[in-house]
Amino acid sequence: MKHILLIATGGTIACAKTQDGLAPALSPGQLLGRVPDARSFCQVDAVQPLNLDSTNINPSHWLLLAKLIEENYSRYDGFVLCHGTDTLAYSAAALSYLIQNTGKPIVLTGAQKPIDQEDTDARQNLLDSLRYACHQDSGVCIVFGSHVIAGTRAKKTRTKSYNAFSSINFPDIAEVRDRRVVRFIPWEHQGPPQFTHSLNTRVMVLKLTPGLPPEAFASAGALCDGLIIESYGVGGIPDTYLFQLDALARAGKTVVLATQVPQEGSDLSVYQVGQRVKERYRLLEPYDMTLESTVTKLMWVLGQTQDGEEIRRLFYTPVNYDLLF
Ligand code: ASP
């Protein structure tokens, strides 16, 4: 029988009603008590390093979770993390960079309704996740609403429905149907897992809106080493901000020109407003990567190196299906 470590971190799945609204309350033992069927196919140990609404999750928690998995890696066949849905896609992407090439499944899940509610999706999601963690296919992924999504490709696209997550610019990697895992994308696993232990959290996103004050660039630049500008369509920079880009380049900031359109990604080569800045400032672009992956990958890359060429190389090296270009 497979041996799984359940890592509970809070979120709606573990929430109970309070006078001020839902708040995480249940212990991992209580969560497991709601899915007794799991006992028939796996043996589960459980820990609870955090008990947070995932609104409160930050990069220090990603490092803590990665370390916990590293310390327990040899003892278990797979890992299931229960996590709030609001920042789950960021955590899944961050863990995809911090734990690369994992030959053991690392599954993140959550729910739209607390596990004790009658019409909850939590019991199914938890059971599906434990089942998937027992499967031989590996990597960091999200199991939610019977979809299995690569950890770098998920986005929360619905705030209330049970199918809260979509796989962006990439197919689901598998599905849990009844009690079986149907895999669509083969897992390519080469060599031992690689754990990294640092992130540069000085990464920010600046979303362009028509008329955004130019001073926003200098303010954001002062607070970060890596700036992701979420521009429009396939990507471009309005004429009024070119001076601001000059200043960011002179200050040695790493600038990524992304798109705020969720599907199909960037291509700065298409329009003059994109091409002229990409060449002049050696901007990076995410192509088909999600914003969640772009943010966490940049934190991971800038945590490894400050060398411009190495930053480019690492940023454009695909990890856990994040980039197809
Ligand atoms: N606010 C909750 C959280 O992210 C929402 C959820 O879990 O669905 O922790």
In order, the DSSP letters of 266-309 are --TTSSHHHHHHHHHHT-B--TT--HHHHHHHHHHHHHH---HH
- Residue 265: CB within 6 Å of ligand 1? no
- The 10s digit of each residue's pLDDT in 182-215 is 999 988 777 899 999 999 999 999 999 999 999 9
- The 10s digit of each residue's pLDDT in 25-63 is 999 999 999 999 999 999 999 999 999 999 999 999 999
Ligand 1 atom at minimal distance to the Cα of residue 112:
8
Say what the pLDDT of residue 325 is: 67
- The 10s digit of each residue's pLDDT in 158-188 is 999 999 999 999 999 999 998 899 999 988 7
Q: Which residues have a Cβ under 8 Å from the Cβ of 145 and sit 6 or more positions away?
A: 121, 125, 162, 163, 164, 165
Residue 137 has pLDDT above 80, yes or no: no
pTM: 0.97
Say what the pLDDT of residue 313 is: 98
Question: Once rounded to an integer, what is the mean pLDDT over residues 290-294?
Answer: 98
Residue 275 has pLDDT above 90, yes or no: yes
Strand blocks (E) in the chain = 2-8, 15-18, 21-24, 42-47, 78-82, 99-100, 105-109, 139-144, 147-150, 154-156, 165-167, 174-177, 180-183, 194-195, 203-207, 226-231, 254-259
Q: Which residues have a Cβ under 8 Å from the Cβ of 309 and sit 6 or more positions away?
A: none
- Residue 9: CB within 6 Å of ligand 1? no
- Judge whether 57 and 90 are in contact, CB under 8 Å: yes
Question: Once rounded to an integer, what is the mean pLDDT over residues 108-118?
Answer: 97
Say what the pLDDT of residue 136 is: 74
Percent of the chain with pLDDT over 90: 94
- Residue 125: CB within 6 Å of ligand 1? no
Question: Once rounded to an integer, what is the mean pLDDT over residues 260-274?
Answer: 95
Taking the centre of ligand 1 as the mean of its atom positions, its distance from the CA of residue 157, in whole angstroms, is: 13
Catalytic residue among 12, 102, 109, 294: 12
- Residue 12: CB within 6 Å of ligand 1? yes
Strand partners, 16: 23
Residue 320 has pLDDT above 80, yes or no: yes
Say what the pLDDT of residue 92 is: 98
- Per the annotation, the verdict on 55 as an active-site residue is no
Average pLDDT, the chain: 96
Which of 10-19, 77-86, 134-143 comes out lowest in average pLDDT?
Answer: 134-143
- Count each helix (H run) and each strand (E run) in the chain, helices first: 9, 17
3 state SS of 33 = helix
Taking the centre of ligand 1 as the mean of its atom positions, its distance from the CA of residue 143, in whole angstroms, is: 15
Question: Once rounded to an integer, what is the mean pLDDT over residues 295-302?
Answer: 98
